[in-house]
């Protein structure tokens, strides 16, 4: 059983994330999308809301499971018996952080591999931060997130 863990904040999930998730689902038997609970960050959406949006937008795939975790990603990956941690790369700006992430994980758990998938060109500009920024100012996010996420964003930003 080849299991991949895809960790992130997903605050909220957007088309860039979903593209990575769907591509990974064709390569592995099981994909665990892991919503990070980080007490040092202040997300817009609660952990449950982020999980619900991920579940609704990935429900057509039987090998994708959504869970939350706290603590070190490698510990959660080992607990779930994943062999691979998946990350997405958008631009050179992602590279530096991801380089450190991958090398640190290798030091902590040498049996795990961190695997990078390049963003699809049309999604390369999307981040959860830019989605929230556009939604906050009432802009259209329909090219960035599925309709259900757009609805949840508008509920948060009703003035």
- Per CB under 6 A, 128 contacts ligand ADP: yes
Residue 50 is among the residues annotated as catalytic for this protein? no
Given the residues 9, 50, 87, 128, select the one marked as catalytic.
Answer: 128
Helix (H), strand (E) at residue 120: none
- Per CB under 6 A, 20 contacts ligand ADP: yes
- Per CB under 6 A, 56 contacts ligand ADP: no
Residue tagged 């769907």 (tokens): 22
Question: Which two three-digit tokens encode residue 15?
Answer: 């088309």
Minimal distance in Å, beta carbon 61 to ligand ADP? 17
Q: How many CA atoms lie within 13 A of 117 on its CB side?
A: 23
Residue tagged 């817009």 (tokens): 44
DSSP 139: -
Count of positions on this chain that bind ligand ADP (CB under 6 A): 16
Residue 132 is among the residues annotated as catalytic for this protein? no
- Per CB under 6 A, 9 contacts ligand ADP: yes
Q: What angle do CA 112, 11, 18 make, to 5 degrees?
A: 65
Helix (H), strand (E) at residue 77: helix 73-79
Q: What residues act catalytically?
A: 17, 41, 90, 128
- Residue ranges in contact with ligand ADP by CB under 6 A: 8-10, 16-17, 20, 87-88, 90, 94, 119, 123, 126-129
């Amino acid at each position: 059983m080849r299991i991949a863990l895809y960790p992130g904040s997903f605050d909220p999930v957007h088309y860039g994330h979903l593209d990575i998730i769907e591509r990974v689902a064709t390569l592995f038997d099981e994909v665990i999308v892991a919503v990070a609970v980080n007490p040092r960050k202040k997300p817009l959406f609660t952990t449950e809301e982020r999980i619900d949006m991920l579940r609704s937008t990935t429900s057509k795939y039987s090998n994708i499971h959504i869970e939350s975790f706290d603590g070190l990603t490698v510990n959660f990956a080992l607990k779930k018996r994943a062999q691979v941690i998946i990350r997405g790369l958008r631009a050179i700006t992602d590279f530096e952080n991801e380089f450190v992430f991958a090398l640190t994980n290798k030091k902590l758990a040498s049996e795990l591999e961190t695997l990078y998938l390049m963003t699809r060109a049309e999604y390369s500009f999307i981040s959860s931060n830019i989605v929230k920024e556009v939604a906050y100012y009432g802009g259209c996010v329909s090219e960035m997130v599925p309709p259900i996420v757009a609805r949840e964003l508008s509920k948060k930003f009703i003035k």
